[in-house]
């Protein structure tokens, strides 16, 4: 049940039709409820009721419906253009504001169109008795739609700006850091023995979430250990080994693999795309994509790359003070274990900083920005020798690539000075 709710929330957050459909349903219910309210001339709500005739009300509802349909088509067209530009320049990402705007428009259209069935007509003949307060509700929704037009125009103008894109990517990654357990076991993970049995994946896609505690009761009951072969965010193919299962010794009986394969596939959520539910590297990758595309010869925008690195610095500093590694769920009695592999701090540095370093080695300000990132992390890790070693390794690689690629020695001196400040700081 947890996994199904989690998957639905993620799907609803990315699908453009879910929230507009729910808003349309809510508009129908609201219209039905308001249409049952009778307003007398002495009622305090009388000034809010529509004061025109039945024909006036029908003309108003018809105008609202036709106008909103035109605006919906315009919004969808602009959304497609914005998504195409964003996916080309900054890598694909989601936009909840568009869902909000479409929801208000759809609610207005459905509310007004449904009103045409009742306003001004009764048993096939015209009448001046109609739910006047419900017609006023359509006018309120019209003004709300006009406000959404202004909001959407402002949002569209800012949503494709690099500052807005990088800020959203940073905030999304920080939410994962704050809400998810990025690892409980930083040491070397237990390695599956030779008698381990493979458990196959039942569907293809990216691992979006994994909950080892959901499989632990079954593993404990049979006294076995289960270890996934893939990290969160990695791609799996149906029919290939997804995990390995093994009893304490080769002589111990091995439980039915099909039973564990079914339970394993229920423990994880596999989708057609990567998400920010538990995948911190996806949020970081968005910023890395921005930096690498900005450093490509076709764009050649080092300043944008530096902006992306600055936002990456915030994420890395948040991770530097937290445990990172495998997510291991163990039975208190030691008779079962479920392991989801994860990255260590050095792995994140090597993957994320390494790509930007290779693309931007010839530009001194990019190398200096990466060194600032490492310097900030070095000030937070304390006496952790493994993380200090990982930082020193990345510093050495940055200096080596910069020395090889930067044409002028004067430009390289600033890079070397920043690296020495980290080494001896």
pTM above 0.85, yes or no: no
pLDDT band with cut points at 50, 70 and 90 for residue 161: confident
Percent pLDDT > 70 in the chain is: 88
Least-confidence region, from 53-57, 114-118, 187-191, 256-260: 187-191
The answer on pLDDT for 403 being more than 70 is yes
Between CA 171 and CA 311 the distance in angstroms is 9
The answer on pLDDT for 81 being more than 90 is no
Mean pLDDT of the chain: 86
**Mean pLDDT, range 46-70, rounded to an integer:** 86
pLDDT band with cut points at 50, 70 and 90 for residue 96: confident
The answer on pLDDT for 376 being more than 70 is yes
The answer on pLDDT for 364 being more than 90 is yes
The answer on pLDDT for 41 being more than 80 is no
- Higher-confidence position of 93 and 245: 245
pLDDT of residue 87: 59
Domain chopping of the chain, boundaries: 14-160, 174-181+281-323+344-424
Least-confidence region, from 156-160, 198-202, 392-396: 156-160
Region class of 91: left (phi > 0), else alpha (psi between -120 and 50), else beta: left
CA 397 to chain centre: 31
pLDDT of residue 4: 53
**Mean pLDDT, range 176-180, rounded to an integer:** 80
**Mean pLDDT, range 68-91, rounded to an integer:** 74
pLDDT of residue 76: 81
pLDDT of residue 1: 42
Percent pLDDT > 90 in the chain is: 44
The answer on pLDDT for 93 being more than 70 is no
pLDDT band with cut points at 50, 70 and 90 for residue 425: low
Least-confidence region, from 32-46, 124-138, 324-338: 124-138
**Mean pLDDT, range 367-385, rounded to an integer:** 92
- Higher-confidence position of 238 and 156: 238
The answer on pLDDT for 2 being more than 50 is no
pLDDT digits (tens, 9 = 90+) for 183-221: 666 666 778 899 999 999 999 999 999 999 999 999 999
């Amino acid at each position: 049940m947890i996994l199904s709710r989690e998957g639905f929330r993620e799907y609803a957050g990315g699908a453009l039709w879910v929230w507009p459909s729910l808003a349309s349903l809510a508009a129908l219910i609201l219209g039905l409820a308001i249409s049952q309210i009778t307003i007398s001339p002495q009622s305090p709500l009388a000034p809010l009721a529509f004061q025109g005739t039945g024909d006036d009300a029908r003309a108003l509802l018809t105008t609202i419906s036709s106008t909103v349909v035109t605006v919906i088509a315009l919004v969808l067209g602009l959304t497609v253009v914005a998504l195409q530009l964003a996916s080309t320049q900054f890598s694909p990402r989601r936009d909840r504001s568009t869902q909000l705007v479409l929801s208000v428009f759809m609610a207005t259209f459905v509310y007004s169109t449904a009103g045409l069935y009742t306003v001004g007509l009764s048993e096939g003949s015209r009448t001046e008795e109609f739910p006047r307060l419900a017609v006023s509700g359509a006018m309120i929704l019209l003004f709300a739609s006009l406000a959404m037009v202004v909001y959407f125009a402002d949002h569209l103008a800012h949503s494709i700006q690099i500052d807005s894109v990088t800020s959203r990517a940073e905030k999304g990654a920080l939410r994962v850091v704050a809400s998810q357990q990025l690892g409980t076991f930083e040491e070397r993970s237990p390695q599956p023995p030779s008698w381990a049995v493979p458990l196959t994946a039942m569907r293809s896609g990216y691992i979006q979430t994994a909950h080892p505690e959901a499989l632990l009761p079954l593993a404990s009951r049979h006294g076995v250990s289960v270890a996934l072969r893939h990290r969160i965010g990695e791609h799996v193919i149906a029919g290939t080994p997804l995990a390995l299962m093994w009893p304490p010794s080769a002589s111990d009986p091995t439980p039915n693999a099909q039973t564990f394969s079914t339970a394993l596939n229920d423990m994880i959520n596999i989708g057609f795309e990567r998400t920010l539910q538990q995948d911190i590297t996806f949020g970081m990758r968005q910023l890395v994509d921005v930096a690498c595309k900005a450093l490509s010869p076709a764009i050649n925008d080092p300043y944008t790359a530096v902006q992306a690195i600055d936002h990456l610095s915030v994420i890395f500093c948040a991770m530097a003070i937290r445990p990172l590694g495998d997510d291991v769920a163990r039975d208190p009695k030691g008779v079962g274990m479920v392991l989801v592999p994860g990255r260590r701090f050095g792995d994140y540095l090597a993957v994320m900083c390494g790509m930007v370093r290779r693309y931007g080695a010839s530009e001194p300000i990019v190398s200096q920005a990466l060194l600032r990132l490492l310097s900030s992390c070095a000030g937070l890790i304390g006496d952790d020798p493994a993380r200090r070693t990982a930082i020193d390794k990345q510093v050495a690689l940055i200096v080596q690539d910069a020395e090889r690629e930067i044409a002028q020695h004067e430009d390289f001196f600033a890079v070397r000075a920043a690296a020495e400040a980290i080494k001896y700081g």
